[in-house]
Structures are given as C-alpha cells and as structure tokens.
A and B are shown apart, each in its own frame.
Chain A
C-alpha cells in the first residue's frame, strides 16, 4: 500500500541542457537552461541541481512564461557545484528537481519591501519579470560592481536603494545608493508602519532584519529565503 501522495519534488527529476552563460560580475553569472514543456513554477521558487550526490538550490530569475530557465549563480571557488556550473561546456546536461519553496509574492494591502544581499536578488527578479511592481527594494552588496539587474529593479520598484557595505569612505556612490548595510538603512529611513517584508540572502541579514522588524515594525509579516 502506498499512501497517496503526488508532487514530491524529489521524485520528479528532469534533465535540462545548458544553453548560455553570461557573466554579470567578476564572480556572478547567469545561466540559461532548456525548459521542459511540463515544468511550471511560481516567481520566487527555486530548482535543485543534483550532481554526484550533491544538491544545490538556485532561485529562478526568469518569468514563469519564459521559454528558458534562468538562474543567477555566485561562483564560490571552493564550491563544487557552482564551480561546475561556472565551467561546464554549453550543451552539458544537468539533472534538476523542482520547483521548490514557498517564497512567492503574496498580494496584500501592506506595501512590500524586498531586501536582498548579493545574488539574493534572484527571486525578486523573477517576480519583477512576472509583473510585480511598486515595491521598495534594498540590495545589499559590497561594491557597486555587484549591482546586477539594477535596470530591471529601477524600472519596477517605487524605491530602489543599493546599499554598499564596503564602499570606501569618501568614494563616489552610484545615484541613490546608501553607504552601509541594508539593516542600517531600514533602521534609519523606513517610516514606522506595517509592511510585507521579503528577505533573501545571507542568514546574518535575515537574522538582523527579522529582529529589527520585530522591534520596529511589529505588525509586519516576514517571508524569508536563506542563501547559504
């Protein structure tokens, strides 16, 4: 007897082909993969690479109606999977499962605030490409060179603030940028109120922003996606 259950993502591996790789910065690239006709996902969800016993999750950056699947990957030199993805030849086949996760946009009367660090912008890009607009977005990076996808967010967001944590004091900042961490910006500039917070990125940011929300914006839901 088998308990009826469908949709277990671990049971639905599918094969895709690497079609294109575009470098967005020194360490970050976008991959385009073939898309099986049956694959459906919601903006903000992720897929899982299976490779020789390893599993790695990556958020999709494409819209749900895109003919290809796109991912934003940060190359970690010591990272086995990201190194393979950074060097694999075009045409290489990969096995994936998915879609995974619940980090999707929820319509609500509260204004949405997207907070990302590094490649944590990925699910927000998928949402933006699916038509989500009018949100406030903070993108925390070390330097201005890591502000990939900036035009997409500038076009869709009501407020887009790059937060540069490692900009040298006195150095010129890109227009509208903030010198400091996303948490500092939120603490200093976001007016009191209730918002829908969407946090994606490093766990330190998730922790700090969540604790700040509890303290300063207590009636605000928090949706999180941690990038390890």
Chain B
C-alpha cells in the first residue's frame, strides 16, 4: 500500500470540509501544530518506562482527543461534516484537571520557575508543553481570521493540556529521582 497520492504537489490541499486551500492557509497551519503536538506526545510515550502503562494509556487517550480537535479545526463552520465529529467539551478539560490534581499531589510545591529538562521523558514533556502552547496560539490566530467550531472547548483543552504537560514533566523527573532545577535570576 502506497502512502503518497500527489494531489498536494502544487501546494494546495483539501480541508476535511472539502475546500481546496493553500497549504499555508491558517486552518492547515493550526492543524499542523496540533499534529506536531500529537507527534511529540508520541515521542514522550515511546520514552516512558514500560511499567508506566497507565500513564501511557492516559497519554494515548489525549492523542485520540487531539485527533478530534484536529478534525474540528480542519473543517469550516457550517459544513455538514461537523455533525459527524466527536464532541469536544468541558468533560475533556475536567478530566485533564483531575489528572493534574492527581499528579500534583505527588510533587513538592513549586515556588519559582524551573528549567525545562532533566530526564529525557521530562524533556519531551516540556517540548510537548511548548508545542501545545504554540498550537493554542495558532488556533487563536485562525479564530481571529475566521470562525472555528468548538473554539471555546478546543482552547480550554489546549490550555489545560499544557498545564498537564508541565506537571507531567515534573512527575517524570521525580519518577527518575531528578530534582527540578530552579531558575536563578
């Protein structure tokens, strides 16, 4: 089975809602950022120790949600295809908040900025966090230019996901006996 089709060789692509657009279109840019975030999460999952099966499952669940967010971003408002998309709502964000609370309860309180890094898994989580913030900004940039369906839910989810990835990075360091490195001015 071949992966390539070639219909995008001249710089245009199809949105989920069918419109042909330039690959530099804001909707494609936003989708690309969400895709990059998902890929970095994949790298993080791959780097996690085998015994962290529950955490891997949690992250894979987030990857699935990101696919659905990508679909909402990649479809123009008013398209009938929106009726087929998986709903994104407050429950998704609340689930992230519960996970943040759960992880944070295992960590010492934080009173200053920390340097991103430490164990490779923590480093991946920090990269994912930064990419998540970029994805959020790109979705907002798109929303400033044209409507985005489920914008409120998408933004809330991405915003909370970056918080989740921050505490996850700290958790990964703690898991490997590495202390957070505090930023000294």
**Could you tell me which A residues sit within 8 Å of B by CB distance?**
1-8, 42, 102, 104, 106-107, 196, 203, 206-207, 210-211, 213-214, 218, 220-224, 226, 228
Contacts and interface: CB of A to CB of B under 8 A. Distances in A.
Contacts of B17: 221
Contacts of B99: 1
Interface of B: 1-2, 4-7, 9-10, 12, 14, 16-20, 57-58, 61-62, 64-65, 79-81, 84, 86, 91-92, 95-96, 98-99, 102
Contacts of A106: 18, 79-81
A228 B1 contact: yes
15 contacts: A2-B95, A3-B58, A5-B61, A5-B64, A5-B92, A106-B81, A203-B5, A206-B7, A207-B9, A210-B20, A211-B9, A213-B20, A214-B12, A223-B14, A226-B5
A188 B66 CA distance: 43
Given A1-B102, A211-B10, A220-B20, A206 B5 contact: yes
Count chain A CB atoms within 10 A of each CB in B6, B20, B102 and give the residue with the most.
B20
Contacts of A6: 86
Contact of B84 (A2, A102, A221, A222): A102
Given A106-B18, A213-B20, A207 B6 contact: yes
Contacts of B65: 3, 5
B61 A2 contact: yes
Given A3-B92, A223-B18, A214 B84 contact: no
A205 to B, nearest CB: 10
Contacts of B14: 210, 221-224
Contact of B62 (A3, A211, A221, A223): A3
Contacts of B64: 3, 5, 8
Contacts of B61: 2-3, 5
Contacts of A228: 1-2
A196 B62 CA distance: 34
Main secondary structure on chain A at its contact with chain B?
loop
A196 B7 contact: no
Nearest to A108: B80
A11 to B, nearest CB: 10
A221 to B, nearest CB: 3
A224 B8 CA distance: 13
B84 A104 contact: yes
B1 A4 contact: no
Count chain B CB atoms within 10 A of each CB in A1, A206, A210, A218 and give the residue with the most.
A1
B20 A221 contact: yes
A104 to B, nearest CB: 7
7 tightest A-B contacts by CB?
A221-B18, A3-B61, A210-B7, A207-B6, A228-B1, A106-B80, A207-B7
Contact of A4 (B5, B9, B92): B92
Nearest to B8: A210
Contacts of A4: 91-92, 95
Contacts of A8: 64
Contacts of A1: 58, 95, 98-99, 102
Given A206-B5, A213-B20, 20 more contacts: A2-B57, A2-B95, A3-B61, A3-B95, A4-B91, A4-B92, A5-B61, A5-B92, A8-B64, A102-B16, A102-B81, A104-B81, A104-B84, A206-B7, A207-B5, A210-B14, A221-B17, A222-B18, A224-B14, A228-B2
